[in-house]
A and B are shown apart, each in its own frame.
Chain A
Amino acid sequence: MKKKVLTVDDSRTIRNMLLVTLNNAGFETIQAEDGVEGLEVLEDANPDVIVTDINMPRLDGFGFIEGVRKNEKYRAIPILVLTTESDAEKKNRARQAGATGWIVKPFDPTKLIDAIERVTA
């Protein structure tokens, strides 16, 4: 069965790149435009792994990760943070919020898939 990836990113460009990359790698991809939408679609999407941006309107990546972790069902789902942020403070916050891993944009498709493979069975 195809693994499902939920991607949360406010940039249309990045959403499209994720879509193409993930679909080509054989994943099923569900996309949300910000943290709020990410939480809204979470239940229906029932993803195996989440890839999220940090800087987003309405609800940022930190808030989104916290929201996911509060959902009993997704308490232990792998969440990869995809962002251009590179300072330690932000990374630390993402981790405290419950992020599993961290990928720096611009992402290399191979690295993205690698990272997803790494956190999923």
Chain B
Amino acid sequence: MDMNEIKEIFFQECEEQLAELESGLLRLNDGDRDPETVNAVFRAVHSIKGGAGAFGLDDLVSFAHVFETTLDCVRSNKLEPTQEVLKVMLKSADVLADLTNVARDGGSVDQARSAQLIRELEALAKGEAPPAAATPAPVAAAPKAAPVAKAAPAPVAAAPLVNDEGFMPVAFSFDDFGGEEESVSDLPAYDIVFKPKSELYTKGNEATLLLRDLSRLGEMSIHCNMDNLPGLDQMDPETAYFSWKISIKTDKGEDAIRSVFEFAEWDCDLEVTALDAGEAGEGSDDDLPMQPVPFDLSVLDGEPDAPIGVVEEEEQLAAAAAAQEAAVAAAETASNVLQMAGNAARASAADKGAAATAAAQNNAQQAASAAAPTIRVDLDRVDRLINLVGELVINQAMLSQSVIENDSNGVSSINMGLEELQQLTREIQDSVMAIRAQPVKPVFQRMARTVREIADITGKSVRLVTEGENTEVDKTVIDKLAEPLTHMIRNAVDHGLEMPEKRLAAGKPAEGTVKLTAKHRSGRIVIELSDDGAGINRERVRQKAIDNDLIAADANLSDEEIDNLIFHAGFSTAEKVSDLSGRGVGMDVVKRSIQALGGRINISSKPGHGSVFTMSLPLTLAVLDGMVVTVAGQTLVVPLTAIVETLQPDAASIHSFGATQRLISIRNSFCPLVDVGRILNFRATQANPVEGVALLVESEGGGQRALMVDAIQGQRQVVIKSLEANYTHVPGIAAATILGDGRVALILDVDAVVAASRGQSLQQESSLAAAG
């Protein structure tokens, strides 16, 4: 793994954190006051800041920092998360997302907007929070960080190593240890008094290690004061009894000396005195019975946890020696004693706190059970698995078919085994598909942002209500859903909702509501987008359609048919091109991208009450349930979802209409017949309808068509294979699949076929038209 990969991980993580951030803020906006929600929101920003810092993404860091500071005020109850506050925060979340995108993909952000939000965030943090430590702006807090060392003399507080970042370790070099002995006497000298407190050891610091690090700064001598060492009967292994006086000559300066004790700062008394030249090492504290001790670093190379008895100086540490004697003897090398003290501390700890530990573990387990365990898997691996299962399904079908063909008895143990295999295969397939299934939540969350932005631009007041966010659908579908949905939301706010004053005049609340819901219905996901706006102005739509030659001036259209005209290419009723819909994207594009996903979209509208867009999409793009049919000797698959019913036409129900058109009468209404074989150019002339089967299909723009095929072979679930991967898009064909005989069958694009059959006015909508 290199830094680039980690960076990629960082950006992935950012996306997750941004989603977390937004959903948390929205929950707060809905009145959620769970501290954990605030914590999660804080953590999200905090995490982004942390990672961004690691990659030197300064813009991101500084914005995240200000954001985090304000969030911390909320977290510590110094700032009430009112709607106003949350509005600023939601916008900040958007800017944070922009900054992340820019950091990843380049480009630039709206500087004015982010500067403005920084000001607003800072104002929030300042305005409502107590001025002191409440806002942990690092620079302001830094002086407070320093003087905390309890008993430490003044120099510690003033030590510059405690910078505005807290305990930022100051790098020091180990290289110089032992070098350039001859010049040592010229170096500045310091006297250091180091008196550890018991806490030093309980926090995992070791006086020996501190002395070791200190020794790396220059030549030093150590005096150990053991006066406070009590008799063994009174000895508390948890207490620190020793203190040291150290003389050192170093050119690294006092800061370097202090930085050695940085982590121990609060748990020891430390005095560092710079000496004048010549004064060095004279040891002015003669009243203290200190004796020079050799500083033996080699002892540190051994196992730190070695038993006390295993110490180099054998003559002094006879195995039988009394513990107190051993201790005193060992004290001749400071490090040995310390090691012993450390060991003693560790040993004594063994007797204590077992119950407390158990309690802590209990808590931990409880917390653990809250979240279902998940693992993170590369999408490639899942896709590979899905492909393999697809192969398995095809293979299983091929096997079944050849067994059936070769097994004249029909009933055999092989058949039973095959049935079980089929069942298992299906189950494996479903399980694998479930891996790719994801809640629509992230897409819905993105829509919240879209709503905010458009509300801002249009000056409308809008509330987005979402429902069924946890409805799951294949990841590919989710990925492709965002764009059409964004466009529809824009339309709903821009064209659907009225301005506040107009709403009030109509007796509606000034704030408009856009509602986005998702649910599963008969093996598909249904997404509904509704608004409580003015609804479709049918008169205007109709006029526009007439102006654009979409319909005849005297056309007799139902309300539903008029509403659905907005999906036609080039159709736009907005009198001025607003900067929202200004990209020249109409609802026809939305419709086409939904269709490309094997979906359908419809609108129903109620004047004065708003519109509802209903999209129905397949749960997966990997398999579909299809009807296998024969057309001009070819096998085709028609998606089952498109088929309303199948008919066996008789001669009496077929009526010629004009030169080439034929209609079929179904329960007193006439429905155009479409010969699939002819439209796909599989045959030169239309087949005789009476010799085939008609599939009554529902097409997108309303209205039905009867698709003529030669015969129905049966229904089955098929694995969808891309034609585009090695070939190109084929008009009228949605994809391919592989059937039980191992041959490729094409999956019919019903909507494209219907559109192609529809006639002049809708030519541009038809992808077949371009094919020629």
Contact = CB atoms under 8 A, between A and B. Distances in A.
- Check if A and B associate: yes
Interface of A: 10-14, 16-17, 19-20, 35-37, 39-40, 55-59, 66-67, 69-73, 75-79, 83-92, 95, 98-108, 110-111, 114-115, 118-121
Contacts of B356: 70
Contacts of B54: 13-14, 17, 105-107
B350 A73 contact: yes
A10 B16 CA distance: 12
B1 A100 contact: no
Contacts of B194: none
Nearest to A1: B303
A106 B169 contact: no
B424 interface: no
Interface stretch (B201-209, B457-465, B584-592, B633-641): B201-209
Nearest to A77: B204
Contact of B46 (A70, A84, A99, A106): A84
Given A10-B47, A67-B360, A100-B204, A17 B141 contact: no
A11 B49 contact: no
Contacts, number: 191
A13 B353 contact: no
Given A78-B204, A84-B50, A17 B40 contact: no
Given A40-B368, A57-B43, A115-B169, A121 B208 contact: yes
Interface in B193-244: 201-206, 208-209, 213
Contacts of B354: 72
Contacts of B262: 101
B102 interface: no
A11 B11 CA distance: 11
Contacts of B365: 36
Nearest to A102: B167
Contacts of A12: 9-10, 12-13
Contacts of A77: 204
B50 A106 contact: yes
B574 interface: no
A35 B300 CA distance: 31
B43 A91 contact: no
A13 B266 contact: no
| Top 4 A-B residue pairs of the complex, sorted by shortest distance between their CB atoms | A75-B349, A106-B53, A101-B263, A87-B136
20 contacts: A19-B1, A35-B364, A36-B368, A37-B368, A59-B363, A71-B353, A75-B346, A76-B349, A78-B205, A86-B145, A86-B164, A87-B141, A87-B145, A89-B133, A101-B263, A103-B167, A104-B166, A106-B53, A111-B171, A121-B206
B110 interface: no
B203 A100 contact: yes
A91 B263 contact: no
Contacts of A115: 169, 263
Nearest to B53: A106
A9 to B, nearest CB: 9
A65 B165 CA distance: 21
A95 B145 CA distance: 13
Interface in B138-160: 138, 141, 144-145, 148
B141 A59 contact: no
Contacts of A56: 43
B300 to A, nearest CB: 5
A55 B50 CA distance: 11
B-side interface mostly: helix
Interface string B540-559: 00000000000000000000
A88 B147 CA distance: 10
A98 B203 CA distance: 5
Counting chain A CB atoms within 10 Å of each CB, which of B133, B204, B353 scores highest? B204
B349 A88 contact: no
B202 A119 contact: no
Given A55-B43, A86-B138, A87-B141, A79 B204 contact: yes
B364 A13 contact: no
A77 B263 CA distance: 14
Contacts of A104: 165-168
A107 B51 CA distance: 10
A10 B145 contact: no
B370 interface: yes
B541 to A, nearest CB: 50
Contacts of B361: 39, 67
Contacts of A86: 136, 138, 141, 145, 164-166
B416 interface: no
B9 A98 contact: no
A87 B263 contact: no
Contacts of A101: 167, 169, 205, 262-263
B130 interface: no
Nearest to B349: A75
Interface string B49-83: 11101111000000000000000000000000000
Contacts of A102: 166-167, 263
Contacts of A78: 204-205
B60 to A, nearest CB: 12
Contacts of B370: 58
A20 B6 contact: yes
Contacts of B171: 108, 110-111, 114
A70 B209 contact: no
B304 to A, nearest CB: 4
A12 B3 CA distance: 13
B295 interface: no
Contacts of A85: 166
B357 A72 contact: yes
